[in-house]
Structure 1
Amino acid sequence: MPLFVKVERGIVDKTTFDRYVPAHIAYVKELIAAGYKARTGYWASYGGGMLLFEAESLAAAEAIVARDPLVRNHCVEYELHEWCVVVE
């Protein structure tokens, strides 16, 4: 399955953002359990974060991102890209 990357930047205050982090983590765990091989994290020295996951198509990836609690609650702006692996 193709790999996709959602690169995000927070657009709300930290208190608001942190309110939705537990739901985001639970959502990523659901993606992992469903076989999407998802990983999420944040940049240590730069605001924002990333979600890496597999999906069958760009349309499927867009649907996955749309259900992310950080997106649904307007906490982040993001870019979604297919990531083409060169070396494994």
Structure 2
Amino acid sequence: MIYYAVFLPLLDLEKSQKYRPQHLDYLEQKRDEGKIFVNGPFVDGTGGLVIYQVSSLEEVKEIVQNDPYVLKGARGFEIHEWAMVGL
């Protein structure tokens, strides 16, 4: 598995609040599929971070582009391959 850190910067606060339940449901589904290592919001309210564990960049791009936050324009995204050093 490859780890990818995905930043989800806030683009629209109103949309972010509106689509939060759908976003959280989507993340729960991906967690159940074993594709999420960790996730959470930034304390300063500027967005959040999801670290996915998947097999390819193409796979993570597909997952992120189907996140309701991204689909509805509530959040942008930035993907970086992440080399985890330890726990």
Report the CA distance between 1:46 and its aligned residue.
5.0
Deviations along 1:31-82, one digit per CA (max 9) or x if unpaired, are: 0111113432111125111111111100101001011000000111221011
Separation (CA, whole Å) in 2 of partners of 1:17 and 1:63: 20
Structure 1: which 4+ aligned runs deviate by more than 3 Å? none
Aligned to 2:28: 29
Instruction: Give the TM-score normalised by the residue count of structure 2.
Output: 0.89
Aligned to 2:11: 11
> Any gaps of 5 or more consecutive residues in structure 2?
none
Give the alignment of 1:63-82 within 5 angstroms. Answer: 63-82=62-81
Separation (CA, whole Å) in 1 of partners of 2:45 and 2:19: 20
8 A Cα contact 1:31 1:38, kept in partner: no
> Any gaps of 5 or more consecutive residues in structure 1?
none
Identity of aligned residues (%): 24
Instruction: Give the TM-score normalised by the residue count of structure 1.
Output: 0.88
Give the alignment of 1:50-65 within 5 angstroms. Answer: 50-65=49-64
